């Protein structure tokens, strides 16, 4: 029996994935390819883009006073807050992995900040950091320390944004919990019989077995951190003191939709994109030395 055209796997397969294919072509391929051209234009958004070669990039690297501080802030934000979030998330997951009264409530409380809308939590933190009567300074005063200008001091502004990111450590915690629970208990029993201390078992058994989870979170965490937008836009509106919180993604938004300088914004988009690819490649290259897969046959 010969199948008709509409019954062939190839045709049916593509019909099923058609939404994804269209989405890929329009929301990924087209923007990527067209933005190579747009990055080399002067374009206000209303006029026709005018080709100017590499001038946008030249301006970015040599003239724009916001670019280098912003790039520095973007990289610092990602390479500090993401690993710190992983360590804290794992520590919390370890604490919450064994039974204890109210363990479910604890897990829920730690996960709660992750669920809340980021606009709502950012505005909440705006108030926490308020210098006169904000919560952060109330705590400092209560323990006898000097109040701090959290968001308007270039030494603390970026750190203040990182604290908000770490407040969402529950998302790391919950994924690590899943990872810890998938470690079979007989491995620990074997380690105990071999006389391994808890400390030793943690580094020799637990850590190796959850490295795939760790790695997955490192990659997704980095990609997410490089795209931070809401926090600087709500908390430090103009990129903070001395552009100390001028994160790239926010700077792109400002140049495009507030400055009407779309060509330049797209040039910055390329810098962000290359940055993400670079960090991902570094992570993947180094992963072979620390990520352990149980069935390495793939």
Partner 1 sequence: MTGNNAAVTKRQPIRTGSVIRFLFLLVLSISMIYPVLWMLTIALSGSGGMFEVPPEWIPHEFHFNNFIEGAKKVEFGHVFLNSLIISLIVTIGQVVSSLFVGYGIARIPFPGRKLWFYLFIGSMMLPSIVSLIPVFFVFAKIGLYNTWWPILLPAFFGNPFFIFLCRQFYSAVPYSYDEAAKIDGANHLQIMTKVIVPMSIPLVVTMIILSFQGSWNEYLQPLVYLQDQKLWPLSVAVASFSGAYGTTWNHFMAVNLLYMLPLLILFFAAQKYFMQGLGSLNNSGLK
Give 23 or 65: the residue with its C-beta nearer to partner 1: 23
How far apart are CB 113 and partner 1 at their closest, in Å? 7
Helices (H), 157-253: 157-167, 170-181, 185-193, 198-201, 207-226, 230-235, 248-253
Give 113 or 241: the residue with its C-beta nearer to partner 1: 113
Give 62 or 132: the residue with its C-beta nearer to partner 1: 132
How far apart are CB 30 and partner 1 at their closest, in Å? 7
How far apart are CB 271 and partner 1 at their closest, in Å? 11
- 212: which 2 tokens? 């795939």
Give 80 or 183: the residue with its C-beta nearer to partner 1: 183
- 289: which 2 tokens? 């030395």
Short-list 159, 161, 171, CA closest to 89 = 171
How far apart are CB 55 and partner 1 at their closest, in Å? 18
In contact, 188 and 195? CB cutoff 8 Å: no
How far apart are CB 269 and partner 1 at their closest, in Å? 5
In contact, 255 and 263? CB cutoff 8 Å: no
Give 152 or 227: the residue with its C-beta nearer to partner 1: 227
SS3 content of the chain, % helix, strand, coil (to 5): 70, 0, 25
């Amino acid at each position: 029996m010969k199948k008709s055209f509409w019954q062939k796997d190839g045709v049916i397969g593509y019909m099923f994935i058609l939404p994804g294919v269209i989405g890929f072509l329009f929301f990924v391929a087209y923007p990527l390819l067209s933005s190579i051209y747009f990055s080399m234009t002067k374009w206000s958004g209303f006029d026709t883009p005018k080709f100017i070669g590499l001038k946008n990039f030249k301006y970015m690297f040599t003239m724009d006073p916001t670019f280098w501080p912003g790039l520095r802030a973007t990289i610092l934000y990602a390479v500090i807050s993401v690993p710190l979030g992983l360590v804290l998330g794992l520590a919390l997951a370890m604490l919450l992995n064994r039974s204890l009264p109210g363990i479910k409530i604890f897990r829920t409380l730690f996960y709660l900040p992750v669920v809340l809308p980021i606009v709502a939590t950012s505005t909440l933190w705006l108030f926490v950091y308020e210098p006169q009567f904000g919560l952060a300074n109330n705590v400092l005063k209560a323990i006898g320390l000097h109040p701090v200008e959290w968001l308007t001091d270039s030494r603390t502004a970026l750190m203040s944004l990182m604290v908000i990111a770490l407040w969402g450590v529950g998302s790391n915690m919950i994924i690590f919990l899943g990872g810890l629970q998938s470690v079979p208990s007989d491995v620990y029993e074997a380690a105990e019989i071999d006389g391994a201390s808890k400390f030793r078992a943690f580094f020799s058994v637990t850590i190796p077995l959850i490295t795939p989870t760790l790695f997955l979170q490192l990659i997704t965490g980095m990609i997410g951190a490089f795209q931070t937008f809401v926090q600087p836009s709500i908390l430090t509106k103009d990129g903070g003191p001395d552009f100390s919180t001028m994160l790239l993604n926010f700077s792109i938004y400002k140049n495009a939709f507030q400055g009407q300088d779309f060509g330049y914004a797209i040039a910055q988009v390329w810098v962000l994109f290359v940055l993400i690819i670079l960090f991902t490649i570094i992570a993947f290259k180094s992963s072979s030395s620390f990520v352990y897969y149980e069935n390495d046959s793939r």
